[in-house]
Structure 1
């Protein structure tokens, strides 16, 4: 799987060849909707809130998306494409430690720069994945199995310590997205330290040290 965005089944993709202005407006709507859905959830969010956040009229917004579910599906599609791209980019022929270092670094950067996207995805899963359930069982499952196979081969070749590939992927997801999904908890524990310059770099270094030292070959 590459980083190319493929619509989830049933999504509305808008005009076949949108103009530059239409493309810009669509991105503005999706960015606004991401913030609203992440803050209020699907049920709590309204089209009026999204239109206000996007600084456009409701009729103008409805030109691009007919209904709130269409906006929600499009936002999830956009989010999933972005968040899975780093996993898809793991190179089977690369150095295992460096490939994992790059993947973890990218995930941490995305959590820092796009926390709302991580929270939106987490909320969808916690709700039982009503929109992306089929995606999780097909494309996501296939991608994870593919990359777990790569990690398993690295283990068999002695290039990584004996670790369970699936649980390594799950652990990387958990630790990298924790800083976005549980931002309030992190700030409650660390206080003003979170706002200090270099906090995200220090976080990345700590996570990389712990994870990579755990998977380096022994002896």
Structure 2
């Protein structure tokens, strides 16, 4: 029974993510989501009670992985290892949660008007933690004296673009869908660019 519930909720979130991403919150109808997910409309209300709750669930489906993605930065002392893991994970989120990522991006671009306060606060705390860790690495001599804020924004933009502009990227690369190898190459390229461009290294200058 639990597996059926999990499978149904996964189908609902995927369908809702697509509709919210393509048409926005106001223009999306629960009936259309139910049809796309091939699940009776009453079942959606059974699982989520309301369209508002479903929208929050879609946001959580991507913000929870985003919040988890920064654990290497929080927990690891080695900036090379931490940034490599962070960039790779951020790209995998763009790959595996493309539509939900677009919903989140649209929410941010609209000023976060419907973003739940607790999620907003968690994301803010995460940002402050990342900036503080970058500053620590700079102070330790493990990174050039770059702007910690702009480094974080650059990583966000470079990884998020594979979700938000996936159609254009596929068109330029003449592919219907990016492969695992494409994402691996993107992760390697972005990691090398960040590490070399910001002078990131494992050992402190005094060691």
**Short-chain TM bin:** 0.7 to 0.9
Q: 1:29 to 1:207 in 2, by over 3 A?
A: same
Corresponding residue for residue 211 of structure 1: 194
Which is worse superposed, 88-97 or 120-129? 88-97
SS at 2:73 equivalent? coil
Offset from partner CA, 1:29-67 (integer Å, 9 cap, x none) = 222211221222112211011111221111222212222
C-alpha distance in 1 between matches for 2:180 and 2:15: 27
* 1:4-23 aligned within 5 A: 19-23=2-6
1:178 is displaced (CA, Å) by 0.7
Q: Is the 8 A contact 1:97 1:216 kept in 2?
A: no
Q: Over the residues paired in the alignment, what is the CA RMSD in angstroms?
A: 2.5
Q: 1:137 to 1:55 in 2, by over 3 A?
A: closer
Corresponding residue for residue 176 of structure 1: 159
Corresponding residue for residue 87 of structure 1: 70
Q: Does 1:30 align with 2:47?
A: no
Q: Does 1:112 align with 2:60?
A: no
C-alpha distance in 2 between matches for 1:191 and 1:173: 25
The size of the alignment, in residue pairs, is: 202
Which TM-score applies when normalising by structure 1?
0.81
Structure 2 unmatched ranges of 5 or more: none
Q: Does 1:52 align with 2:35?
A: yes
* 1:185-200 aligned within 5 A: 185-192=168-175, 198-200=181-183
State which of 137, 160, 172 in structure 1 corresponds to 2:143.
160
Q: Does 1:71 align with 2:54?
A: yes
Corresponding residue for residue 201 of structure 1: 184
Offset from partner CA, 1:96-125 (integer Å, 9 cap, x none) = 111001100111122122211221111111
Q: 1:204 to 1:19 in 2, by over 3 A?
A: closer
Q: Does 1:139 align with 2:122?
A: yes
SS at 1:191 equivalent? coil
1:145 is displaced (CA, Å) by 0.8
SS at 2:70 equivalent? helix
Structure 1 unmatched ranges of 5 or more: 1-17
